[in-house]
Amino acid sequence: MEHQARILSERRRELLEIQREFISMVSHEFRTPLTTIQGAHFLLEKLHTESPNPSRSVAENAEKWLKLQASGLKTLSKLVDQVLMLNRIDHMTGEASLEQLSPAVVLVETVAQFNNSMDSPRVVLQNDMPIGFTASMDSRLVKAATENVISNGLKYSGLDKPVQVRVYTEPDGWAVEVVDQGMGIPQEDQAMLFQPFFRAGNVGTVPGTGLGLAIVQRAVDFHAGRIEFESSKNAGTSFRLHFPGTVRPPVGDAAPGLEPLVSGQ
């Protein structure tokens, strides 16, 4: 009983720490887009009141402020989606979510979403899947995992740097590899990389919540898969997400499937 009490006490402490970090993150990260939206809204209201027949320059300013609002709303929407996704994975049973699908089709759709949103597509997909190959998966979780890894590759790389994505089969299932040419992950930060709200020390002013890789780990763990990564500071990062062909989702608290291979070299 004493041992169980200590475990419960430690778990409570961890939950309180996560709660504290979450509140801190929300107060900081949500404030910026909200301030942007509020400022743009004020300016648009003023424009509407003072300029019933706006000139071309006024109309252009209105368009600029509307874009600021849209950007802020997009950021807020992503933050909310990430929190809800973490909660969904942590509380789902999963039986009704699994389907027999083509990983290649899922990855083609995921990559297309990125490239279609950019003036110059930067995500390059190499599809090494045999025709007709399928695996049991929750497509929403697979998409969430791959989207977050690809998004990080784009966000932390130069605008002229491509992100390489490869999907392929393995003897016991399939995998997706995402390779970027970005800033890399410092060796001293790699042990904490998949902790919610944690961000590497070299991200600077690049916006983020530290939730993306936590979602990746939970999504892969749900499929009883594993993650490998290699990263060197200022020399890019490679993630490999391995999925079994037949999924038996873990029951209860699953051990993270995380294997750092080459770090900080």
Domain ranges within the chain, ordered by starting residue: 2-91, 98-263
What is the CA angle 83-163-161, rounded to 5? 115
Q: To 5 degrees, how large is the angle CA 24–CA 27–CA 28?
A: 85
In single-letter form, the type of residue at position 9 comes to: S
What pLDDT is recorded for position 259? 43
Rounded Cα–Cα distance for residues 155 and 177 (Å): 17
Whether 98-263 and 2-91 are alike in CATH topology: the answer is: no
pLDDT at 113: 92
Residue of 182, 185, 184 whose CA lies nearest to 161: 182
Residue 247 is inside which H or E element, if any?
A: none
CATH of domain 98-263: 3.30.565.10
pLDDT at position 194 is: 81
Which amino acid makes up residue 84?
L
**pLDDT score at 213:** 86
pTM: 0.66
With tokens 């399939």, the residue in question is 174
The rounded distance, in Å, linking the Cα atoms of 238 and 25 is 27
What pLDDT is attached to residue 235?
A: 83
- CATH for 2-91, among 3.40.50.880, 3.50.50.60, 1.20.1250.20, 1.10.287.130? 1.10.287.130
Task: Tell me what pLDDT residue 87 has.
Answer: 65
d(CA 114, CA 121): 8
The rounded average pLDDT for each run of 10 residues, N- to C-terminus, in the chain (265 residues) is 79 71 64 75 75 74 77 71 68 64 95 91 94 92 92 85 95 95 83 74 65 87 91 88 78 42 35
